Structure 1
Amino acid sequence: MPLITTPSDLLGPIFDLSNNALSGSIFHLICQGENFSNNIEFLKLSKNHFSGDIPDCWMNWPRLRALNLGHNNFTGSLPMSIGTLSSLLSLNLRNNILSGIIPTSFKNFSSLEVLDLGENELVGSIPSWIGERFSILKILNLRSNKFHGDFPIQLCGLAFLQILDVASNSLSGTIPRCINNLSAMAITDSYDQAVILYSSLRSEGQSEIFEDASLVMKGVLVEYNSILNLVRSIDVSKNIFSGEIPVEVTNLQGLQSLNLSHNLLTGRIPDNIGVMRSIESLDLSANQLSGQIPQSMSNLSFLSHLNLSNNNLVGKIPSSTQLQSFGASSFAGNDLCGDPLSNCTEKNVLVPEDKNGDGNEDDDEDGVDWLLYISMALGFVVGFWCFIGPLLINRRWRCKYCHFLDRLGDGCFVRKCN
């Protein structure tokens, strides 16, 4: 279905043509629609079949507060003129075929609350100025692009951030310890204390929230809209992050979903992970984590999705109704023991650290044998030098001892004859 090019009947603050089968270019709508573009605050053309470049004439939309061109077939680079939309609160270009880097003109979005550029072919590093310029950003979705380089520590300054998704890129380095500065994710009472997301994106006289978001939760792609303001999620999976899981992440006690899977993370799972009582989905699979599963994990009463598979975890799975409710696949590819692993044997139970350094400790029986041999040797040495030794050294003692033996022998002979 071709694009309607005379939308005079759709004048008003909201222009919504989403969820149709519209196709073709949007050049005429964006660049030659001055008769109505000056009044539009919400432009939503998502979930259509639009194609071609995104036009570079957004200076014609001075009042625009929300732009959603997601789920189309747009190609080319991001137009610089989008940066002229200084009143923009939400930018959604998800699931297109956009390439190039994030333009520096985006720095002008000082009031931006939502930036969703996921599922494109954007390249370069994640700009550090996102954490410096977008001070009230609540959603940052850069999923499934071609970003590389370190995770900018400046992103830790996004105190209002509730959703962070940089999965499926080529990001490297370590997960910064300053991640605990994402204070909106530390709020545990979502209903009373949550930042009311998108309250500014409601049009006067409208009751529906304009924005939505697609997130991978519990291993499944889920689309959120009306309850999006209550969601708190971090997904950095399928990158090249290394180092340990920062213990500071456990300060984010309002976090509902944490996905660190398919990286090169090492070390242990933080011992106090059980304080993250709001966690519903935890995926640490396909890393190089070692040590035991922390006992505190049994305190995660809301946990409904867990994947610890394909790591180097050892020992016994902590006993709890919660952990034993998951299938064996959640713990596969480790050296773990205990329910729900059906083929578990006692050899999997973690034993004390090997003091010999050869990977194998002596068993209990070998320990007893060595003690016996040592005791016998000591007894022989002590007995020899306490009794036989003095006789060999002192001639007088030897004579008296011989006389004693002679008298003892004579006494025994007399008693036998009688």
Structure 2
Amino acid sequence: MALIILLVLIILAIADVNSSNEISSNSYSACPENEKQALLVFKEGLIDDANRLASWDPHHHPDCCTWFGVVCGNMTGHILSLNLSLPPLDDTVDIDSYLMSMLKGSDFHGPIPNFLRNMTSLRHLDLSYNNFKSSIPEWLYRFSSLQVLSLSANELQGDISSAIFNISTLNEIDLSWNDLEGKLPRAVGNLCNLRSIVLSSVRLNQDISHIFEILSGCSSHRFESLTFARKLANLEKVEIYYNLLEGVVSGKHFANHTKLRYFEGWDNSLVLRANPYRLNATIGTRVLSLANNLLSGKIPDCWIKWQSLQVLRLDGNRFTGKIPSSMGTLSELQSLHLHNKLHGEIPLSLKNCRELAAINLGKNELDDG
């Protein structure tokens, strides 16, 4: 009899433990409570007419790692990524539903809520394609782990603060299509891990040589001179088009960036100083766009050194002379835009560009060859 009673007590104890575990599991939140509260306060500061943050409900969804736009670390539960970007219109988006969502006010608007400053574990922050109106908060630059920062296509105002130097871990930064203005701070050149910088349409108004000087070196110490700094060896993408830049572009500007894949500087007021023996390609350059500037003279016959080039845009400039025959060595070229004031024959060597799918030679005076 005593044995039976003992067995019953053991069974009841096991059932009680399982019940406790189930309750604990149902109420458990993977992300830290203080970070969940930071998100909720952040939400309160937003104008969310389309209710995109409906899942940010601690009663129905207690684990904030399951909320829209939130990604947490598997081990710690800390929030590592916050992506509240409104997807841009492209070929994969149905235009009718996209326009309807815009009419409904799907973008977030208002100032960037200050309580976001408590999310210090963030590595990825994307608030692009919304309607935030404020200056770029200084506290953003104090995130010691941030690797990706995208605030593009908002209505942010003011200058780009030199405090951005504090984000030594930053790999990518995109501040394009805002109401920013002024000059690129020299401190940006100290971001030694930088791979991509996109500052298109922000009314930058400085000499292109200063831009390249800033991007040509980084130092590990705040007071180390850029003259002795090492190269920004990881830089792959530079987009600075549609600004107020001026000055001279030359081959030396590309010499320090051996990994540069994309350079887009169109719609500025740049001129060209080109020497065929100095305008050397950076290894692996795929996109070079200097369209709609003030480039003039002959197009340099140096393209045998740009073997990875896929897109070349030199259109909308003041080039004269002939199309260089060395362009026919660009075996990976897919898109070529050269409408200027060129004359002469179209080089037969262009037939070797077997990947070429788009070519624009309009507004020239070319022969068929």
- The TM-score bracket by the shorter chain reads 0.5 to 0.7
Q: Which amino acid aligns with 2:289?
A: D
Alignment partner, residue 179 of structure 1 = 215
Aligned to 1:12: 30
Question: Percent identity over the alignment?
Answer: 25
1:325–1:32 CA distance, 2 compared to 1 (3 A): closer
Q: 1:234 and 1:9 mapped to 2: Cα distance?
A: 47
Equivalent pair of 1:178/1:248 in contact (CA under 8 Å): no
Residue number among 141, 144, 157 corresponding to 2:190 in the alignment:
157
Task: Find the counterpart in structure 1 of residue 145 from structure 2.
Answer: 111
1:344 matched to 2:366? The reply is: yes
TM-aligned CA deviation for residue 283 of structure 1: 0.4
The correspondence for 1:142, drawn from 175, 179, 190, is 175
Q: Is the 8 A contact 1:81 1:105 kept in 2?
A: no
| Corresponding residue for residue 280 of structure 1 | 286
Match of 2:202 in 1: 169
- Residue ranges of structure 2 left out of the alignment (5+ in a row): 1-25, 37-48, 71-76, 87-105, 219-229, 348-360
TM-score (norm 2): 0.64
Could you list the per-position Cα deviations for residues 141-167 of structure 1 after superposition, in whole angstroms to 9, with x for gaps in the alignment? 112111111122221111111111111
1:43 to partner: Cα distance: 5.7
Structure 2 residue aligned with 1:69: 84
Aligned with 2:255: secondary structure?
Answer: helix
1:276 and 1:300 in contact (8 A); partners too: yes
Offset from partner CA, 1:20-42 (integer Å, 9 cap, x none): xx9416489379899544xx4x8
Q: Which residue number corresponds to residue 45 of structure 1?
A: 69
Amino acid at match of 1:134: I
Cα distance in 1 for partners of 2:320, 2:161 equals: 39
Structure 1 residue aligned with 2:99:
none
**Matches of 1:104 and 1:146 in 2, distance apart?**
17
Shift of 1:126: 1.2
Q: Is 2:309–2:332's contact at 8 Å kept on the other side of the alignment?
A: no
Cross-structure match for 1:240: 244
Rate the CA distance shift 1:270–1:85 in 2: closer, same or farther, 3 A: farther
Partner SS for 1:309: coil
Match of 1:24 among 32, 51, 66: 51
Take 1:254 and 1:29, find their aligned partners in 2: how far apart are those partners? 41
Amino acid at match of 1:344: L
Bigger helix fraction: 1
Q: Which residue of 1 aligns with 2:261?
A: 256
Q: How does 1:170-319 map to 2 (within 5 A)?
A: 170-175=203-208, 176=210, 177-181=213-217, 186=233, 232-245=236-249, 247-269=252-274, 271=276, 272-319=278-325
Query: Match for 2:233: what amino acid?
Result: A
1:48-91: CA deviation from partner (whole Å, max 9, x where unpaired): xxxxxxxxxxxxxx932211111151001111111122221111
Cα deviation, 1:351-391, whole Å, max 9, x if unaligned, reads: xxxxxxxxxxxxxxxxxxxxxxxxxxxxxxxxxxxxxxxxx
> In structure 1, how many angstroms separate the alpha carbons of the residues matched to 2:170 and 2:238?
14
What is the CA–CA distance in structure 1 between the aligned matches of 2:264 and 2:243, rounded to whole Å? 11
**How far did 1:308 drift?**
0.3
- SS of alignment partner, residue 248 of structure 1: helix
Pair 1:330-2:354 in alignment: no
Unaligned runs of 5+ in 1: 1-7, 16-21, 47-61, 188-230, 346-418
Give distance in 1, aligned partners of 2:57 and 2:186.
Answer: 36
> Does structure 1 retain, via aligned residues, the 8 Å contact 2:242–2:268?
yes
**C-alpha separation in 2, matches of 1:23 and 1:318:** 54
CA distance in 2, matches of 1:262, 1:10: 53
Question: Which residue of 114, 130, 134 maps to 1:100?
Answer: 134
Q: What is the alpha-carbon distance in structure 2 between the residues aligned to residue 264 and residue 236 of structure 1?
A: 12
Report how far residue 298 of structure 1 moved: 2.8
Distance 1:43 1:88, change over 3 A: farther
TM-score (norm 1): 0.57
